[in-house]
Amino acid sequence: MTLLTMTAIAMTALLHAWRFFRADGFDQPRIDIPADLLAIGSLDQILLYGIAFMAR
């Protein structure tokens, strides 16, 4: 992966518009499209915990 590609992915993650849904009283980020997966690193750690919790 080139530096230009990595920079493009990083910029996409920073500019990503997240959509959320409410489950069990918590707002959860929706992961519907590949861009959501590419931008997952830009999520707050608390939201990432929520994703892991919902997957179990």
Averages of pLDDT over each 10 residues, the chain, 56 residues = 70 76 83 86 69 60
Indicate the Cα dihedral angle 31, 33, 34, 35, nearest 10°: -80
Q: In angstroms, rounded to a whole number, what is the distance separating the alpha carbons of residues 1 and 15?
A: 21
What's residue 41's pLDDT?
A: 78
What's residue 54's pLDDT?
A: 59
What's residue 13's pLDDT?
A: 62
Q: How many domains does the chain have?
A: 1
56: exposed, middle or buried (C-beta count within 10 Å: 0-12, 13-18, 19+)?
A: exposed
Residue type, 21: F
**Confidence (pTM):** 0.55
Domain holding 16, by residue range, is: 3-55
